[in-house]
Structure 1
Amino acid sequence: MRTLRLESEPLAVDVAFSSDAFCVTLNDGRELSIPLAWFPRLLHGSREQREQWELIGGGEGLHWEALDEDISVAGLLAGRGDQTRRRESVA
């Protein structure tokens, strides 16, 4: 069986925000739309704070200094939100 192996991992090249989500554009042309609710620091940050993002690791991740938030592209592709948020208990 053959498997596809990526020569390199996708990298972020741009970020844009709507009122309830943010969109990360990758260097391979894909766009990821992520709910702000997955990242409470971004959700509760001001529009100005959200817009002050920077690429880290050459696009492997995103950083917001004012919000103390770092998000990896690999984590977004895996569907992982903020791993520090409180999980609801299941009864």
Structure 2
Amino acid sequence: MICRIRPIAIDVTVDEHSLNVVLKDGGKLRVSLERLSKLWVATPEQRCDSRVSASGKGLRWDHLAEDISIGELMCDVERRHRDERLTSCIPVDFPQNPTPALLSGTQPKLAGRMIDGRFVVGLTAEQRWVRWDICEYLTQQLVAKTLKDAAKYPKNSREVTLRRMRHAIERKNWTARVETDWLMERLRALLGW
């Protein structure tokens, strides 16, 4: 994991789109300014007025009163890479957030959580990947079960057989409704029905 490395910065530059850090081991970090709110709204002159700490473990912008830890920056980059990798495994048609949490009141509010210093509403990339993995595994298991049910009740149409499978899944409460919808379409595709 990148987070366990003790990175030491030797140079920092900021262009109009990104923060660029050269590390002592020869590595380079490039982070979008959109992820760094104070730098994002700063003027180009303020962005360029930066320095690397004597230890190389931090970056400082005196006029912005902004300090950035290289270790935390590395952890954030590693977390984003992991999230991108997990997200790339999930089919684009899989539901984004099957059960958003809403709080009651005069105005509806979404419930959020603080995870690794970030405010998250809905599923994280890892949680969404786990939900997809469960649905995909269940779908794979249902192929044989569906074929067996179709053979046992040959007078039933394919639609009736699929409805029976859906009803069985819904009774178990393993998946949210939108996940069950996706699962049934995936099952239909795997069966070629």
Query: TM-score, normalized by length of structure 1?
Result: 0.76
Aligned residues: 81
Cα distance in 1 between the residues matched to 2:121 and 2:76? 20
Structure 1: runs of 5+ lacking an equivalent: 1-5
Cα distance in 2 between the residues matched to 1:56 and 1:45? 20
Cα distance in 1 between the residues matched to 2:74 and 2:11? 15
Q: Structure 1 residues 51, 89: closer, same or farther in 2, change over 3 A?
A: same
Residue 54 of structure 1, CA deviation: 1.4
Structure 1's consecutive aligned runs of 4 or more residues displaced over 6 angstroms after TM superposition are: none
CA deviation string 1:38-71 (max 9, x = no partner): 1110000011111111122421000111111110
Cα distance in 2 between the residues matched to 1:27 and 1:66? 26
1:17 aligns with 2:19: no
Cα distance in 2 between the residues matched to 1:90 and 1:68? 32
For residue 37 of structure 1, give the secondary structure of its aligned residue in structure 2. helix
Cα distance in 2 between the residues matched to 1:28 and 1:88? 33
Structure 2: runs of 5+ lacking an equivalent: 78-116, 124-193
Query: TM-score, normalized by length of structure 2?
Result: 0.38
Once superposed, what is the RMSD of the aligned Cα atoms? Answer: 2.4
1:90 aligns with 2:122: yes
Matched-pair identity in %: 31
1:58 aligns with 2:55: yes
Higher normalized contact order (CA 8 Å, seq sep 6+, divided by chain length): 1
Name the residue aligned to 1:3: none
